[in-house]
Amino acid sequence: MAAAGGGGSRADNGYGGQQARRRKGPGALATGYLVIYNVVMTAGWLVIAVGLVRAYLAKGSYHSLYYSIEKPLKFFQTGALLEILHCALGIVPSSVVLTAFQVMSRVFLTWAVTHSVKEVQSEDSVLLFVVAWTITEIIRYSFYTFSLLNHLPYLIKWARYTLFIVLYPMGVSGELLTIYAALPYVRQSGLYSISLPNKYNFSFDYYTFLILVMISYIPIFPQLYFHMLHQRRKVLSHTEEHKKSE
């Protein structure tokens, strides 16, 4: 489930790319809205980045920096849920299911793990995925904004299809380590678990569910990572060929 949450794995959602250019783009009103949305999200993640840097300089340590950016992180990560609506309404030509899977994986980690298990918030692994997410999202939303304006700088395109090589494993490592750190607290508290007997005759073990989420990274992570590597070769090589033909 959450394997899609690592840095750099999100689909292009119809902005940029060769396939997207062959499709009919959104109308003027939808384009204007999408530009505003992506500018706001870029600014939001920049706020998070600045907050991390300021907190680090003030404390002189990278430990427990999560608390300095907790509120904006929750707000802007949850704001990504609108991307599912964009796909459902058809203003962005991307799969609703795939987008929902990718967005919900991060929202899940933000709220159902990091927020719900207070004890893990001071773990260094949280900073690991927060930094990976922050850099990735600043680049991603900038990429979308400039693509919608038909003025995409090569540097942003290169960053979009290159930095994931480091950011994606970094984010996934932070996510896995955070979930792992949460396991003993979830088992001890019985968080979100439902035991029998009850009137619904239904049981749910959140501890086991988190273990299954961690196992899901094994098949999903390599597929997404190699897909992004393939996309990188295709997009950047096409850009180089286009430059040479000019």
- 5 with 178: CB under 8 angstroms? no
Backbone CA torsion sign across 69, 72, 78, 82: negative
Residue with token string 């590597």: 229
The angle subtended at Cα 135 by Cα 133 and Cα 141, nearest 5°, is 90
Indicate which residue of 168, 206, 217, 225 is catalytic. 168
Is 206 a known active-site residue? no
Indicate which residue of 175, 206, 217, 225 is catalytic. 175
Is 66 a known active-site residue? no
**Residues with catalytic roles:** 168, 175
